[in-house]
Structures are given as structure tokens and as C-alpha cells.
Structure 1
Amino acid sequence: MLKASFRAALQKGFCAPAAFAPEGSLQTKDIIMEENRLGIVGIIVENIEASAALNAILHQYADIIVGRLGIPYRDRGVSIISLAVDGSNEAISAMTGKIGQLEHVSVKSVITKM
């Protein structure tokens, strides 16, 4: 049973037990105490062959992705993906860093201070 103060912190998004972290996440401590931030991540995929690797990364960080919108822009031969995220600055940066390493994929993010 969780203590009331810990439960309140969980509900406000200030900490998360590592037991609830997805497999392969970067959380190594029992409790990570960092304030969550809201953000938007824009991704442009120039080669459809990069989609499998991109989707693997997005699946790894599914716990911070609130929503996803994908638009196949056939006239330009690209796919545009917009993500709404809610997570620690570290988790959002780790996700965008991995995405940015993919060939034929561009990523930019905007993160709030709240």
C-alpha cells in the first residue's frame, strides 16, 4: 500500500516507480524524482525504410507519449509525425536523441517549463 504523500506525488507526475517503467527504459533507481514537462515533438521521415527503427524507439518511450498524429505527405514523399509528450526532460531528450540518430529522419522538440 502506498503512503498518501507518495500517492499524491505520483498523481501529480513528480515521481514514478521504476516497476512501472517500460522494459529497456533508462530508469535504474527505485524512484525517479523529477518534474514532468509537456512538449511537442515533430518528426519528418524522408525514407519509409526508417519507419521500423523509429517505431521501435517510439514503443520504448510509449509511457511519455500522450498522443500521436501521422500524416503521409505523398506529394513530397515524406511522412510527418507529431507527438504530444508528458515526461521528464531527461526522458524526452533521450527519446529525441535516439530518433535524431536515425538516417533520413529529422526531429525537433519544444518543451514547456511547467
Structure 2
Amino acid sequence: MAGRRHTRARCGARTRKGTPCQAMALANGRCRFHGGLSCGPTTEAGKQRSRRNLEKARAALARPEHASTRAAAAKKGWATRRRIQRRLQLARLAAEGDPMALLLLGM
């Protein structure tokens, strides 16, 4: 049994370092970090919960106070939404004269 571990397939996905992932592959050929486990909710209750959360998030972003975030995220892509929100918050604090915000923004 001990020797079987070394003969099992490896994930092989490219890591941030550029080398292939050496984790043990699951049945689909990838490890649990690179797409081997979850394919999303499978039960009807899980799908409904997922839909409700998506609608809730979309409704929150549709509020007027998020207009600047939506505009900035539309230009840069949604992956940077949190970074954009933080940067806008720092800019508001810097405009009010907060020394820490000025320092963090590099002004």
C-alpha cells in the first residue's frame, strides 16, 4: 500500500511559481485546489440558496451609494471590486485630511 502513493497521478496544473502542481489528482485529473472538488450546489435547496445570495448581492450593488464602485469595476473587471472600494474609501478619507489615508495613498 505504501508504494501506491508514489504511482498515483499528479494534478499538473500550473502554479503561480510556474511549476506543475504536485498534489495527488482526483478522479477528474485535478487536485482539490485546482478544480477537483466542488462543481457548485447540486441539491435544489442549495441552488435556491445560491440564487438568493446572488440576488441579494446584486441588489446591494444596485444601491445609489455604489455607483462609483460599479463605474470603476466596469472598467477594470469585477475581480478588483474590493480593491476599488478600499481605494475610493481611502480617497474620501484623504480628502477629509486623514494623515493615515494620505500615507496609504502615497500623497
Is this a same-fold pair by TM over 0.5? Answer: no
The structure number with the bigger radius of gyration is: 2
More helix by share: 2
TM value normalised by structure 2? 0.29
TM-score by length of 1: 0.28
Larger RCO of the pair (alpha carbons < 8 Å, separation 6+)? 1
